[in-house]
Amino acid sequence: MEKGKIIAIDGFSSTGKSTIAKAIARELNFLHVDTGAMYRAVTLYGIQENIISENDKENALQIVNHLDEIQITFRYNESENQNEIYLNGQNVENEIRSISVTNLVSYVAKIPEIRSFLVEQQRQLAWNHNIVMDGRDIGSVVFPQADLKLFITADAQVRAQRRFNEMEDKSETTLEEVKANLIQRDELDSGRENSPLVKCDDAIEIDNSNVSQEELMENIMRIVQSKI
């Protein structure tokens, strides 16, 4: 088995990391892995098994005793043209984006045993594949030797507005709530002890606040072509 090319993409929530990663993967015919989806799938398991809830966030530590019951896989969906996540054989691509998962996932992602459990799987996914992986610690922890590291940023107001626009049911929340939740997650992600979100010295920073998707992708593909 051989290690393929690796493009690591990190950044705060809702900066458009996954959309960028997906687009690069399509362009280069690389495998795309959204590691946030993996932390979300573990969180979904915790909710489904009544281990964690909004009132019992710190119970997330108990999930560590159930890791051998959690199997995460990805399968390519031809019609959607994307890699989708499965939890114990069930496609959970939509469920993992729910508000309850979103509100609890940072509490799950800060637990060292859960991180090592997922990091090991993330490294295995790169064997025999060229890969674009997005998350928070891809360039710093999962693949410090990545062929290219991108760090995506965007203004909090712009991020909140984008996320709010994407929501199908806007009656459940407000723009202000979305923004507050986003800032809280930024703080939890960058303030945690284990693998906090940091920009690596060798990562190229891309600001996705005020550029069109076309401009952004043109700029990124220029960088990708020069490095890969």
Annotated binding residue 102: no
Which residue number, 157 or 225, has a Cβ lying nearer to ligand DC? 157
The least distance separating ligand DC from the CB of residue 49, rounded to whole angstroms, comes to 19
Q: How far apart are CA 31 and CA 131, in angstroms?
A: 5
Cα dihedral: 11, 78, 30, 201 (round 10): 0
Annotated binding residue 5: no
Q: How far apart are CA 165 and CA 172, in angstroms?
A: 13
Which residue number, 93 or 137, has a Cβ lying nearer to ligand DC? 137
- Contact footprint for ligand DC (CB under 6 A): 13, 35-36, 39-40, 105-106, 109, 135-137, 185, 189
Residues 54, 153: contact at Cβ < 8 Å?
A: no
Annotated binding residue 15: yes
Which residue number, 207 or 222, has a Cβ lying nearer to ligand DC? 207
The least distance separating ligand DC from the CB of residue 205, rounded to whole angstroms, comes to 17
Annotated binding residue 12: yes
The least distance separating ligand DC from the CB of residue 225, rounded to whole angstroms, comes to 26
Which residue number, 109 or 154, has a Cβ lying nearer to ligand DC? 109
Burial class (CB in 10 A: 0-12, 13-18, 19+), 43: buried
84 Cβ contact list (under 8 Å, min separation 6): 74, 75, 76, 77, 91, 93
Pairing of strands 90-91, 82-87: antiparallel
The least distance separating ligand DC from the CB of residue 40, rounded to whole angstroms, comes to 6
Annotated binding residue 18: yes
The least distance separating ligand DC from the CB of residue 226, rounded to whole angstroms, comes to 26
Q: Per DSSP, what are the bridge partners of residue 148?
A: 7
Annotated binding residue 19: yes
Annotated binding residues for ATP, as ranges? 11-19
Annotated binding residues, as ranges? 11-19
